Amino acid sequence: MSKKRIEIYDTTLRDGMQREGMSVSVDEKVQIALRLDRLGVHYIEGGFPGSNPKDVEFYQKMAGHRLRTARLAAFGMTHKKGARPHQDPLLKQLLKVDTPVVTIVGKSWKLHTQKVLRVGLEENLKMIEGTVGFLAGKGREVFYDAEHFFDGFDDDPEYAMSTLEVAVRGGATRVVLCDTNGATLPSRASEVVKQVVDRLGVPVGIHAHNDSDCAVAVTLEAVEAGATQVQGTVNGYGERCGNANLISIIPALRLKMGYDCVSDRRLAELTETSHYVAEIVNVSPETHQPYVGENAFAHKGGLHVSAALKDARTFEHVDPALVGNKQRILVSELAGQATVLKKAAGMGLDLSGDKEKLGALLKRLKEKEHAGYHYEVADASFELFLRRELGLHKPIVELDNFRVIVQKRKSAVISEAKIVLKGNGGGELPIAFAEGNGPVNALDIALRKLLPARYPKLVEELSRIHLVNYKVRILNEHKGTGAVTRVLLDSSDGHDSWGTIGVSENIIEASWEALVDSIEYGMMKRRRRH
């Protein structure tokens, strides 16, 4: 049976957007909010409507959407010094956006009260109570975020506590302890949260930043100490080192600590949600991110692979399917027989009865890896490698020769490629010329001119294959311009994507190898379907 319910409060759209270089449109904010609702979070903080018109427009657009699980919260701050709450323009704007929840931030550290707000300690308390009371009196549920609470508590615990007590007296239904500087260690956070929970009569939340790389741990310790609301962002986005990462916190609460936060069905959408938000904010998903990263359940070492294939629990702390992820077996120079057998089986190849062939494959694989091939990030090239070594692959592209010319002109750099393929048993060899915006692009265009005549039934499939990523890595930098180059290509046909690799001292040759593998694999997928 699950323990008590923990509320998930997402602030990706406000605090997360403070990450350097991160900005989204109003429509993109709406898309993220709807996806968070689908995940099952309880509160979505959409922004600070008093700070910019984009956030106001976001709340206006959200009025046209019916949320299934989440309630919208608008963020604001205590009224200005020397003013009355009903006169404060920012508080008026908070009421205009008409969210059921309003989150108000106030000062709990004397340092900030005196040097940032420049008000007396008693006036700060009146500002907190007056602001909360004004909004609660207008029918809003008010959450109070105690900024820099842990620093303030260490400085003067009684004053820090008094900021919470006046917020409760004003009508706050939650008080949230903020580790704004991210300086608090988990054990200290636990001690402080327990004291607050024991003293106050309302639910307590935790809002941690990651400057000490402890935000997730601080959050989990706070929950164990009695906090019932956790605030954070998707993928830990936020200013400086980021916020507490809800993508790690939610499965830890649910799967490891037994708390009721999101349903098992919605937890299975965690990986998809993490990647969806990453794509919208234009940040590449972190492949090594716990729970949801592409490599979170990837196994490379031969002994690890062998054990994981016998019982995944030996090297996987949770079932990856529970968070919408999957196990991956990587192929490298560390691979053992279990790795190759598993990968081959996934391709429909049974090698279990031929130890001699399997041994030869392993030897050849390690030779290729030693030469610079990196098959764990190029599954398509690995499958082609296996099929070629086993004599099961009939090549589509059989090169006789190619030539690439790069010419610098006054206004541009022009790349021209010539490709000659092997003939079919007589007559002139197939030849094509093409210009491109670079040598690899020119080779690609020229190759695509030649293949349709030879494989007319694959024209449509060829047109679907396109390059989505091109990466170059120098393997031995000390050799300078004579170093071995590794080229990785990611390709897609609009439905599936795959990675290919090429290695050579010549970057054009390495690129050609990866390019040919990309097309060979795409065409092979087509032949399988038909």
Residue 302 reports pLDDT greater than 60 = no
Q: Which residues of 245-254 are buried (b: 16+ CB within 10 A; e: fewer)?
A: bbbbbbbbbb
Q: Report residue 115's pLDDT band, with 50, 70 and 90 as the boundaries.
A: confident
Percent share of the chain, pLDDT over 90: 59
Q: Model confidence over 348-407: pLDDT tens digits?
A: 777 777 777 777 888 888 788 778 887 777 888 988 988 888 888 888 888 999 999 999
pTM metric for this prediction = 0.71
Q: Which residues are catalytic?
A: 304
The span from the CA of 396 to the CA of 448, in Å, is 12
- Domain ranges within the chain, ordered by starting residue: 7-262, 298-389, 399-529
The span from the CA of 49 to the CA of 81, in Å, is 20
Average pLDDT over residues 235-245: 97
Q: Model confidence over 428-476: pLDDT tens digits?
A: 788 999 999 899 999 999 999 998 888 887 787 888 888 888 888 887 6
For the beta carbon of residue 166, count every other beta carbon within 10 angstroms: 21
Residue 226 reports pLDDT greater than 80 = yes
Average pLDDT over residues 126-148: 97
Q: Report residue 1's pLDDT band, with 50, 70 and 90 as the boundaries.
A: very low
The span from the CA of 492 to the CA of 512, in Å, is 17
> Strand runs (DSSP E) across 376-507, as ranges?
399-408, 413-421, 431-436, 466-474, 485-492, 497-504
What architecture is the 399-529 domain classified under in CATH?
A: 2-Layer Sandwich (3.30)
Give me the pLDDT at residue 333, please: 46
Average pLDDT over residues 253-268: 96
Q: Report residue 61's pLDDT band, with 50, 70 and 90 as the boundaries.
A: very high
CATH hierarchy code of domain 7-262:
3.20.20.70
Average pLDDT over residues 276-297: 88
Give, in order, the Cα–Cα distances in Å from 131 to each of 138, 168, 170, 241. 11, 12, 8, 31
